């Protein structure tokens, strides 16, 4: 293999829409992994996709607030501005310019047939232009910094595939420009209390990682669905059929303890109440440091704003370079 390519550092990039505070699912399924990439020679770029949030035309004050909340949660979770570039998508107007340029290479039919777009249209009941071009804007997010590693949930891989197609089409038409971005699927679908995937705006199902541990415990004890076939304490259970408790144990509980819990469940040697208490104890070990950091950051809003400002400048420097190259290749001159 070409050593120049193997030695090139990875550009890791991912974004989350500004829809509010993180819940346990975002944290365990995504942001925890973002933190792990911040080592070695990776260039990590994590942003809040505030333009993408506009597809829902949220209340402007709420959107502004959510952006700051999200970044504060990113920081509390361990994203480090010394190691990662942390920014708001809208701090880099060149992303919109790139999206415009890429849209010229994007057949409309392919967009309309994309499952991610169809799901959004179904959810909204109608399709705005912005909604249909959502994946093109996402391709611009990815290709702008020439990102190569894109950690995303399973639901976003079709959009990353579209970014790959656009990269290929651009490279064929205008010459080698973009490296191929690779989606790294974070396979973990974190179930909420009712056993379904934890949804962002679904307050019944989702577990807020900012909530006091006692609340979390109360909610798991009261509403956390276990193995529906296990009616009483003396019935043996099946951890693989346990809908909301065991799958989260599997993400946070140390291996030896996890296999003991599984064994004891099968042998009816542990009750679901005890099992839920153990889970929340283990969650607390992960979440308490997050909450402490979050509280500290809450009194330092101006520092958070400064991080966004600096991150925006860094991202803009990197992305502008690509967009200048794209402009040049496509024949656009700024007079
Ligand atoms: N569409 C993603 C989501 O809804 C967020 C996002 C926007 C994104 N741009 C991106 C993720 C670029 C990865 C790379 O979760
Ligand atoms: Fe689920 Fe634990 Fe109850 Fe087994 S003991 S069904 S793993 S909550």
Q: Cβ contacts of residue 89 below 8 Å, gap of 6+?
A: 15, 47, 48, 49, 50, 51, 52, 95, 141
Considering every ligand atom shown, identify the ligand nearest to the alpha carbon of residue 18 and give its number: 1
What residues form DSSP beta bridges with 14? Answer: 46
Helices (H), the chain: 3-7, 24-26, 32-36, 50-53, 60-76, 93-103, 108-113, 115-124, 129-132, 134-143, 157-174, 213-223, 246-252, 255-266, 272-298, 301-330
**Cα 220 to averaged position of ligand 2 atoms, centre (Å):** 12
Considering every ligand atom shown, identify the ligand nearest to the alpha carbon of residue 195 and give its number: 2
**Cα 180 to averaged position of ligand 1 atoms, centre (Å):** 17
φ, ψ for residue 75, nearest 5 deg: -65, -40
Cα–Cα distance, 212 to 288 (Å, whole number): 9
Query: Which of 56, 159, 164 for mutating ligand 1's site (highest number of atoms within 8 Å of CB)?
Result: 159
Which pLDDT does position 201 carry in this prediction? 54
Q: Cβ contacts of residue 203 below 8 Å, gap of 6+?
A: none
Q: How far does CA 142 lie from the centroid of its chain?
A: 14
Cα–Cα distance, 292 to 186 (Å, whole number): 26
Cα–Cα distance, 23 to 25 (Å, whole number): 5
Closest residue to atom 8 of ligand 2, CA basis: 272
**Cα 59 to averaged position of ligand 1 atoms, centre (Å):** 20
Which pLDDT does position 68 carry in this prediction? 95
Query: Which of 13, 15, 135 for mutating ligand 1's site (highest number of atoms within 8 Å of CB)?
Result: 15
Which pLDDT does position 3 carry in this prediction? 42
Q: How far does CA 218 lie from the centroid of its chain?
A: 27
In tens digits, the chain (335 residues) has pLDDT values of: 444 444 568 999 999 998 888 889 889 888 989 999 998 789 999 999 999 999 988 999 999 999 999 999 999 999 999 999 999 999 999 999 999 999 999 999 999 999 999 999 998 888 999 999 999 999 999 999 999 999 998 889 999 999 999 999 999 999 999 999 999 987 677 899 999 988 765 668 889 898 999 999 999 999 999 999 999 999 999 999 999 999 999 999 999 999 999 999 999 999 999 999 999 999 999 999 999 999 999 999 999 999 999 999 999 999 999 999 999 999 999 99
Closest residue to atom 4 of ligand 2, CA basis: 265
**Cα 274 to averaged position of ligand 2 atoms, centre (Å):** 9
Q: Ligand 2 site: residues with CB under 6 angstroms? A: 226-227, 230, 237, 239, 242, 245-246, 265, 270, 272, 275-276
In a 10 Å sphere around its CB, with 0-12 CB exposed, 13-18 middle and 19+ buried, how is residue 291 labelled? middle
Can you read off the two tokens belonging to residue 299?
A: 């009194």
User: pTM here?
Assistant: 0.89
φ, ψ for residue 114, nearest 5 deg: -70, 135
Radius of gyration of the chain (CA): 22
Asked if residues 305 and 275 have their Cβ atoms less than 8 Å apart, the reply is: no
For 127, half-sphere exposure in the C-beta direction (CA atoms, 13 angstrom radius) is 15
Asked if residues 99 and 109 have their Cβ atoms less than 8 Å apart, the reply is: no
Asked if residues 142 and 149 have their Cβ atoms less than 8 Å apart, the reply is: no
Superfamily of segment(s) 213-296: Tyrosyl-Transfer RNA Synthetase (1.10.240.10)
Cα–Cα distance, 110 to 117 (Å, whole number): 10
Q: How far does CA 170 lie from the centroid of its chain?
A: 27
**Cα 222 to averaged position of ligand 2 atoms, centre (Å):** 14
Q: Which CATH number fits domain 3-190+300-330: 3.40.50.720, 3.30.1540.10, 3.40.50.620, 3.30.420.40?
A: 3.40.50.620
Collapsed DSSP state (helix, strand, coil) of residue 333: coil
DSSP at 17 = E
Query: Which of 230, 263, 278 for mutating ligand 2's site (highest number of atoms within 8 Å of CB)?
Result: 230
Considering every ligand atom shown, identify the ligand nearest to the alpha carbon of residue 160 and give its number: 1
Domain coordinates in residue numbering, the chain: 3-190+300-330, 213-296
Closest CA to 311 of 75, 105, 40: 75
């Amino acid at each position: 293999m070409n050593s120049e390519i193997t030695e090139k550092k990875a550009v890791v990039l991912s974004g989350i829409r500004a829809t509010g505070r993180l819940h346990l699912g975002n944290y365990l399924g995504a942001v925890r992994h973002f933190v792990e990439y911040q080592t070695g020679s990776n260039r990590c770029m994590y942003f809040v996709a505030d333009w993408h949030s506009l597809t829902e035309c949220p209340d402007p004050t709420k959107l502004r607030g959510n952006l700051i909340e999200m970044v504060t949660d990113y920081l509390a979770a361990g994203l480090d501005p010394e190691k990662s570039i942390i920014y708001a998508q809208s701090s880099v107007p060149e992303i919109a310019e790139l999206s415009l340029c890429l849209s010229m290479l994007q057949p409309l039919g392919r967009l309309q047939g994309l499952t991610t777009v169809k799901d959004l249209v179904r959810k909204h009941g109608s399709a705005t232009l912005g909604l249909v071009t959502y994946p093109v804007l996402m391709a611009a997010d990815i290709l702008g910094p020439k990102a190569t590693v894109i950690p995303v949930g399973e639901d976003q891989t079709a959009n990353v595939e579209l970014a790959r197609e656009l990269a290929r089409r651009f490279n064929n038409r205008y010459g080698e420009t973009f490296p191929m971005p690779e989606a790294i699927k974070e396979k973990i679908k974190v179930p909420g209390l009712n056993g379904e995937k934890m949804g962002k705006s679904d307050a019944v199902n989702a577990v807020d990682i900012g909530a006091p541990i006692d609340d979390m415990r109360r909610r798991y004890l009261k509403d956390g669905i276990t193995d529906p076939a296990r009616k009483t304490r003396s019935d043996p259970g099946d951890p693989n059929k346990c809908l909301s408790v065991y799958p989260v144990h599997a993400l946070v509980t140390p291996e030896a303890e996890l296999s003991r819990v599984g064994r004891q469940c099968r042998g009816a040697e542990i009750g679901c109440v005890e099992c839920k208490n153990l889970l929340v104890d283990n969650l607390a070990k992960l979440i308490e440091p997050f909450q402490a950091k979050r509280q500290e950051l809450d009194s330092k809003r101006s520092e958070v704003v400064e991080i966004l400002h600096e991150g925006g400048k860094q991202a803009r420097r990197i992305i502008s370079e690509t967009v200048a190259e794209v402009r040049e290749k496509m024949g656009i001159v700024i007079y």
